[in-house]
Structures are given as structure tokens and as C-alpha cells.
Amino acid sequence: METILSWLQSGLSGVGPLFILLGLLIFVHELGHFMVAKFFGVRVEVFSLGFGKKIFQTQRGETTYCISLIPLGGYVKMFGDDPTKSVASEEKPYSFLDKPVSQRIAIVLAGPLMNLFFAGLLFFMIALIGQEVPGSVVGDVAPSSRAYEAGFRSGDKVLEAAHVPIKTWRELSEIIQNSVGKTLDFKVQSENSEEVRTVSTNPTYGPSDDILTPNEKVGTIEGLAPESLSSLIGIFDPQGLAATAGLRSLDFIEKIDGADVHGFRNLEGLLKNAQLRDGKALLSVFEYHMGEEPKRREVSLNLESLSSDSPSILNAIGVESAELYLLRLKPNGPAMTAGLQRGDKVIAIDGTPITEWEQVLNTIKTYDKIDTPVNIEVLRNGLKTSASVTPEMTDLMNAQGQEESRYTIGIYPGLSMSYPPLVLERTNNPFQAVSIGIEKSYEWSKVIVLGFVRMFQGDVSPKNIGSLITIGKYASHSFEAGLSQFLRMMAIISINLFLINLLPVPVLDGGHLVFFSIEALRGAPLSMRKMEIAQQFGLVILISLMVFALFNDISNLFSAW
């Protein structure tokens, strides 16, 4: 019930941003039709945002401008657009259907093209305003990785790659992806140090993490990534200094003495500084629950009793990463039914010690003993206990948006990741901003088209299609994140509208373009009967798609549990 209420609250909180987003995009689209129609001398009778009953209207010249009740689109009503009605000869110069086919095609095409132009304008604005993006700071580097062998270390800041100044992770990633077989020199600055050194290595082909890119393999340096374990903690010693001070398993540490914590790796250094300064540390924390507003509190740690030469303060106070701690359990799922609880730490499965969450995933995914339980050993409040859990086959979606069926037991770990500190990416050059606007519009058009292709190929699940509920949710999140993020989302949806409206589906602009193109080729329009059948077919497709999208949103809510 809490999940449903949270979902509804999230959807309702997105109503304001959703109306702003849809209102602007619909206005821009219809404005395209309107301007080109007026340019060719077509009389525009109605310009409406929304469908259905008019809730506001005003007359300006020959056009009624209105806002209608159902905000699922808009329309421009042009004089002479109904083929069943005759038009007086003196009125034909103002009639839509009496205009040459080329002009009608231009009027219909103007709506989608206006969405594309608007997206470019938004990306242009973002380039000038600036947006915060992940910086070029390396995440956790495993000692067994190629990145570590080359000389990269956790927390390194990449200043230069292939003699090109680097500021963002995207810039670094693009150079690596396009440099297979080349030896690259990187200038990096060590974490918590002014030391700058050179690291040299050559990228090799590896699978792309992004299914919506045309290249299945790109240049990679194995082990080099921006992700680090977050500062979500587990308490392994219930009698330790951290526990007695008030810290609990699955607490998220945001700040130490006012300084932001950028990952679990930073905790040791910040606590060490506090120990050397006055032996006291003030922590800003909250107990982490997915999808819930954090309830922050402060915890004071007295580190004076610890030896100054202690090899690990975290170990001394009883704190570790929450990677192996159970963050939540599926209600009435196999794990909960067997007695496992939130906060349990997984230490062994069928007698095999567990040191990382990947082992848990692989053990359950490769389960092949039908109806035979696995024995999961956990630590609970410092005491060992175990549970016999029988995995169940589950349909779910992977990180690439593909559906897969595999065994699960309904547990979710405290494996939370943090990312590099954000840096402001912007330009003061308006000509460069124009170039960025064009480039981003082209890039996102390719990504969206490729998404459609991958969906038809079965590589991307159609369950990724969302309704207004999903759009409202993301509109709210981006609105809260700031102006640049909201404009970015608006630009991406505007490109979606540009492409979707060009689909050759009757009732969409693309369907009208098909009708007019056929008319241009054969010299006469299709019969009324054929167009009516096509329009009805298109309407069924559109309504079916909307119902399917709504079904996805509702089913995704329940499948999350």
C-alpha cells in the first residue's frame, strides 16, 4: 500500500511540470501548422491546445484561440479541410483542400519540423545556461583490472587525454571509445593530492554498455568507470563505537563535519581528518528506504579513544559497505517467506562464503535444482542465522531494457553507487551553442530511431513504453533537478514527437503525408471510403498504444515488488 501511495503521490506531484512540458510542446507543434497555413493563405478557424470541451477561448481576427479540457494534444482547424463539405468558388483561395498538394504537404510537415527546431533551440539554450554533468573523476578501480595495471587509481581526476583537456566523464569516454589500438597518454591527479602523473594504455574493443548506440563494440579500458560504492553503510559490530553512537545498518552518510561524502571510499579520509583535528566527527545521515523521502539526523562520533595509527578507522568503529546487506525484500517473496529480514548481511550460500553481491546474483541465476531450497547464511545483529529459500522463476527487465526470465528470491541489496562530483558544462560562444544544438538534436534523433528499431528487433522490451504517468514522473524529477534538466527532457520529448508524428499511421501527420504523397503520384486523392477505413484503423492503433502504455505503468508498479 505504501508503494502505491508513493507512486500516486509521485504522479500527482508531476502534474504541474507535466502541464508546462506538454503545453509548450503542443503549442510549438500546432504553431508550425498554423504559421505555414497562414503563409499559404489558408484560413485558420481554430487553434486549440487540448481536445474536447473548450474551457477558455478568445477570438482574434478569423481564428478562435482556445484551451480545451483533454490535454492529450491539440489541433489547428483549417477552413476547407473536410472533404465531405463543398466550398464556394469565391472561398476556395482560403480552403486547405483546394491548395496544391505541395502546399498541403508543407503545412502538415511543419508541425513535426517545428518540434525538431524547438528541440534544437532548447539544446542551444542549455549550452548557454550550462548543465551539471559528472566530472572526469575515476570511480573504484579493482586491483585485478587493466585500468589498475595501467596505473589508474580510485579517485584519480583525469585532466587530459591524448593531449586534449578533459573536464567531464563524457569527454573522456568519447576519446576512449574512438581510440582502439592507439596508445593514449592520460594526465591524472591523485585523490587528496596535488600530484599529477601520466598514465599510458591502449583501449581495446569491448561491448557497449548502451544498447541504443549503433556500435555494439567500442573502445574500453577494462575497470575504468565513474561508479564508486556509495556511503551506504553496514554495521558489523553491534557493540562497536559506530553502533553505540547511533549509526545503523543501511544508514546513508551524506556529510562529515559539513563536507560532502562522495562515496564509501571517502569515509576513511574524512574520519581520519576529524580524528587528527579534535577527535570528534559530526555525521549527517539518513536511513535509506527506496522511493521514500529521507529523514535526516545527526550522529556525533567520538574518535579520541582510537589509536592514531589504526590501519582502518572504519574497521575499528565497526562500519563496512552495505553491499551485502539486504535493503528490501519482496513482500511474500521466497526470501521473506523463509524468514530473511531487512538489514541481514549475506555471508554464505550453500556453504560458499560470499564476499561480493555478484556471487549472490550468479548463484541464484544459475540455480538448477528445481524445488530444492538453497541455504542462505546471514548475520543479524552480530549473530549468525540461516534460512532455506527456494528460488522462483521471474520475468524481469535488465539494465539494457531487455526482458529476461531467471530465478530470483526477492531480495535487493544495499549495493548503491555514487558518481563523480558534478561540474558545470557550458559555453559563452553563441555560434558554438548553435552547433551544439544541431549536434544534440541529431544525436538524440539517432538514439530514438535506434530505440524503435531495437524494439522491433526484440532487443528492447515494449514494456519500456510509458504513458503520461511516466512522463509526469520524469517531468517532476527533472523540474526539481533544475532548469537545464527540465529543458533537456523537454527537448528529448520534442524529438520523440517529431519522429512519432512522421510515422505513416492515419490520424497522425505521417498518415496525412502518405495520403497527399499518393495523391501527388496518381494525380487524384484516395476515395473517401478508403481514407475513412484508414483513419479508423489508425485510431484503433493509437488508442491501443495508449492503453498498452498505461497498462505498462500500472504493471511496472506491481512488478517492482
* Annotated domain spans of the chain: 2-40+99-129+491-559, 146-226, 233-321, 326-413
Cell matching residue 4: 502505491
pTM over 0.75? The answer is yes
**3-class SS at 259?**
strand
Q: Which of these, 439, 442, 422, lies nearest to 431 by C-alpha position?
A: 439
Q: Which of 30, 171, 323, 377 is catalytic?
A: 30
Residue 202, amino acid: N
How big is the chain, counted in residues?
A: 561
CA contacts within 13 A on the Cβ side of 373? 12
Distance between CA 10 and CA 5 in Å, rounded?
A: 8
Cα→Cα distances 339→159, 334, 336, 362, Å: 50, 9, 5, 22
Is CATH 2.30.42.10 the classification given to domain 233-321?
Answer: yes
Give pLDDT, residue 8: 46
Give pLDDT, residue 326: 96
Tell which CATH classification among 2.102.10.10, 3.40.30.10, 3.40.630.30, 2.30.42.10 matches the domain 146-226.
Answer: 2.30.42.10
What single string gives the DSSP state of each residue in 168-220?
Answer: BHHHHHHHHHT-TTS-EEEEEE-TTS--EEEEEE--EEEE-S-TTSS-SEEEE
DSSP state of 67: E
Give pLDDT, residue 539: 83
Which uninterrupted H or E stretch holds 127?
helix 101-129
Give pLDDT, residue 202: 94
Distance between CA 213 and CA 447 in Å, rounded?
A: 7
Distance between CA 249 and CA 243 in Å, rounded?
A: 9
Cell matching residue 559: 512488478
Residue 426, amino acid: R
**3-class SS at 57?**
strand
Would 146-226 and 233-321 be classified into the same CATH topology?
yes
Count CB atoms within 10 A of the CB of residue 14: 24
Distance between CA 461 and CA 444 in Å, rounded?
A: 19
Which uninterrupted H or E stretch holds 3?
helix 2-13
Q: Is the separation of the CB atoms in 557 and 291 below 8 Å?
A: no
Residue range 432-478, pLDDT digits in tens: 999 999 999 999 999 899 888 888 877 777 777 777 778 888 888 88
Give pLDDT, residue 232: 96
Distance between CA 316 and CA 318 in Å, rounded?
A: 6
What single string gives the DSSP state of each residue in 500-547?
Answer: HHTSS-TTSHHHHHHHHHHHHHHSSPPPHHHHHHHHHHHHHHHHHHHH
Residue 382, amino acid: G
Q: Phi/psi of residue 109, each to 5°? A: -70, -25
Q: Is the separation of the CB atoms in 367 and 374 below 8 Å?
A: yes
Cell matching residue 269: 579520509
Q: Is the separation of the CB atoms in 340 and 317 below 8 Å?
A: no
Known catalytic residue at 30:
yes
Distant-in-sequence, close-in-space partners of 520: CB < 8 Å, separation ≥ 6: 101, 102, 105
Distance between CA 243 and CA 255 in Å, rounded?
A: 18
Q: Which of these, 295, 268, 270, lies nearest to 281 by C-alpha position?
A: 270
What single string gives the DSSP state of each residue in 322-346?
Answer: STTBEEEE-TTSHHHHHT--TT-EE
pLDDT (tens, 9 = 90+) of the chain, 561 residues, equals 444 445 444 544 557 888 889 899 999 999 999 999 999 999 999 999 988 888 999 999 999 999 998 887 899 999 998 888 888 889 999 999 999 999 999 999 999 999 999 999 999 999 999 999 999 999 999 999 999 999 999 999 999 999 999 999 999 999 999 999 899 999 999 987 888 999 999 999 887 777 667 777 889 999 999 999 999 999 999 999 999 999 999 999 999 999 999 899 999 999 999 998 998 999 999 998 876 778 899 999 999 888 877 789 999 999 999 999 999 999 999 999 999 999 999 999 999 999 999 999 999 988 887 778 999 999 999 899 999 999 998 877 665 566 778 889 999 999 989 999 999 999 999 999 999 999 999 999 998 998 888 888 777 777 777 777 788 888 888 888 889 999 999 999 999 999 999 998 888 899 999 999 998 888 888 877 888 888 888 888 888 888 888 887 777 666 544
Give pLDDT, residue 4: 46
Residue ranges of E strands in 196-303: 196-201, 204-207, 217-220, 228-229, 233-235, 251-256, 259-260, 280-287, 296-302
Cα→Cα distances 290→70, 315, 410, 423, Å: 33, 27, 15, 26
Residue ranges of E strands in 308-444: 319-321, 326-329, 345-349, 352-353, 374-380, 383-389, 392-397, 403-408, 411-413, 417-418, 422-425
Distance between CA 186 and CA 189 in Å, rounded?
A: 10
Helices assigned H by DSSP within 55-100: none
Distant-in-sequence, close-in-space partners of 24: CB < 8 Å, separation ≥ 6: 490
Give pLDDT, residue 367: 84
Topology given in CATH for the domain delimited by 326-413? Pdz3 Domain (2.30.42)
